[in-house]
Chains A and B, each alone.
Chain A
């Protein structure tokens, strides 16, 4: 680490990184694997299966009826093209998903050796805080970086408002690799997330705005850093993000 505590070197590393060797668990609405932009670029897709109140993940054909996950996957792929994206559908076609499903998805990511978890979603339910916090702790202790989108309405949301999570707000950035780090605030990272052109299911593209689309920018930046420094622990990644994003 000591050799890289140099902002210029970190910026240079970011430029060299491609995401190679980094596995990203994308907890979202699924991904349209057949979209022309994403063909062959999704390592695998999974969906939640519920039985007796318990969730498990099973491999499935990648589909996305909402479009949210497809856009997030494409943003990651655009910035860290060699990162392995594993899509875990925790929100279904009716736009419904539960905290229990999110926790199960996070647990699966840890067990399956993901390096980064991208959660462009969350819950406002305080009662879910403890279970999500436990899942985040499990991830961090296993060296998995958790990146989550802040709530668009500015409300306290989980996992974004947990202190060990890299939480992301959206802002217009001149460069997709540019971030701003706001030290000492619950939502510490601002990343590109206004009018982002990304694919939508079934073909074509549209423009997306929101914290959800800033989050995959930050995850992809983390993936680029990890591809250059694969042994970084989550707290070290946070430190590098601070170096990158300090004004």
Chain B
């Protein structure tokens, strides 16, 4: 009996197929930024997303410079966008550059001069996944009003749904590949066991885990959950 093998290049094929979903979603995000910029009468709109544990970077912008230039990471702990990201609160400024938290490196590198600034958190599920920003009102538009802030928050909610879509399509690639790997692995193990044992019986890993956890008390299970949680580095859970 020969054991089946996972075809080469399957992962790349999957990424390519699901990449189409991502590409369409990015186009919709781009449309959303253009529309938002027009409605809010600003020069530029952009989406910032985490680039590391402590910094944000440009995912998309109506200003191509901001995504093409090699701009420095925006520190989450020392920038307005970072504050909005952490606090999940929409903020607006008339003279952002004079705010204590303003991170001026982007202005310097991109030859920009930020004045009016409106930033809204992009929330997906229970987590903030990015920040939607609107920069510099067009001539004569004045400062941001309460209805501008509301609109920005609503647009950020739509961005959240779209970004959730992108994240899910990425997860789908991994889940599909894992599933296929497990299927092939299982078939291989079955083939090996069948060769070694005439009955061909083998145990399922999942049922082994369930069996192993069965005698544990609820308290012990909670301990395991907490341990996994802390291993995941989620000690910081307070939001402002």
Report A's interface with B, CB cutoff 8 A: 28-29, 65-68, 90-91, 93-99, 101-102, 120-125, 127-128, 151-153, 155, 157, 172, 194-195, 200-202, 204, 206-210, 212
Contact = CB atoms under 8 A, between A and B. Distances in A.
Contact of A97 (B126, B128, B149, B236): B236
Contacts, number: 94
B222 to A, nearest CB: 8
Contact of B100 (A98, A102, A200): A200
A155 B125 CA distance: 9
Nearest to A195: B146
A201 B100 contact: yes
B83 A66 contact: yes
A171 to B, nearest CB: 11
Contacts of A91: 238, 240
Contact of B239 (A66, A101, A157, A172): A157
A153 B76 CA distance: 19
B235 A98 contact: yes
A95 B86 contact: yes
Given A123-B239, A209-B90, A209-B92, 19 more contacts: A91-B240, A94-B54, A95-B76, A95-B86, A96-B235, A98-B237, A101-B238, A121-B240, A122-B239, A125-B237, A127-B229, A151-B239, A152-B87, A153-B88, A155-B123, A200-B100, A202-B100, A208-B91, A209-B89
A96 B98 CA distance: 25
A194 B225 CA distance: 39
Contacts of A128: 237
A212 B240 contact: yes
A102 B101 contact: no
